[in-house]
Structure 1
């Protein structure tokens, strides 16, 4: 069973075919695309080889990923397909800064995502102040 990333809520565990080669068994390496470290990503798998000529390498065009958002689990998590990381929840983590206060050119220090690409596509997380210790987030499946 694939679990959701506690930061961006993606259930996709396969980087795109054009992703730089990274030895996922070694901790301490940082992805140049989204800033994720290999420390927390030992669950990733290399994408099967695909011919790269004349095809789009975005997740939104992947025949497997663009249909996954219609699955009941993806709909329950409010998933959309991000062109970089694939299916991901559109609900930000509870401790995420308010994107409405950010400028269009601002960049997320965690994921390197730009505000301009995410305006009106992501939503604030419901309050978790009254959640019991150990409660599970209905959006990303992470424990509170």
Structure 2
């Protein structure tokens, strides 16, 4: 992740490297849709593929025998311990890496939705994020130039 990385307006991640198990996608080709979160390549011009990570099958049991996820990356796990990440309430998502657990202010209300329903923003199942993400504090009526209480950026 570059030192000048910006926060994604949809999921709040500042990570710019796709996890090793992300399906291959040509990020230079406009108009493609990510098969994981449904975002267009135009929105993610700053992303990079993760270098290949060898899997040591001898040290894994059959329950964990799959491509490595972002949660297994030591760099990502250290990122969420940094003061800026702690202030933004970051955690490690196995798909996108470090991301804030606070939904953006304009995210549709998903409370009361069934676990099998799909998030209209990221296409993730509601059950996958149940108890892991939180609603954003209200920013209605905030003065122009006010600072977001989660990301620390101007609203």
Q: Same fold judged by TM-score > 0.5?
A: yes
Deviation at 1:77, TM superposition (A): 0.5
Give deviations 1:5-54, integer Å, cap 9, x for gaps: 01100111101122222221222110101111101111011211221353
> Relative to 1, partners in 2 of residues 1:48 and 1:111: Cα closer, same or farther, differing over 3 Å?
same
Structure 2 gap segments, 5+ residues each: 58-65
TM-score of the superposition, structure 1-length normalised?
0.90
Deviation at 1:141, TM superposition (A): 5.4
Which residue number in structure 1 is paired with residue 93 of structure 2? 82
Return the match for 1:103 from 75, 93, 114. 114
> Relative to 1, partners in 2 of residues 1:143 and 1:64: Cα closer, same or farther, differing over 3 Å?
same
Give deviations 1:75-121, integer Å, cap 9, x for gaps: 01000001111110010111222222211111112201111111111
Q: Does 1:72 align with 2:91?
A: no
Which residue number in structure 2 is paired with residue 35 of structure 1? 38
Work out which structure has the larger RCO, using CA pairs closer than 8 Å and 6 or more positions apart in sequence: 1
Return the match for 1:128 from 133, 139, 145. 139
Bigger mean CA deviation after superposition, 94-103 or 58-67: 94-103
Return the match for 1:23 from 7, 23, 26. 26
User: What is the count of residue pairs matched by the alignment?
Assistant: 144
Q: 4+ residue stretches of structure 1 with deviation over 6 A?
A: none
Aligned residues of 2:28 and 2:45 also touching (Cα < 8 A): yes
Structure 1 gap segments, 5+ residues each: none
RMSD: 1.8
TM-score of the superposition, structure 2-length normalised?
0.84
Bigger Rg, which one? 2
Give deviations 1:52-75, integer Å, cap 9, x for gaps: 353751111111111211100100
Bigger mean CA deviation after superposition, 93-102 or 70-79: 93-102
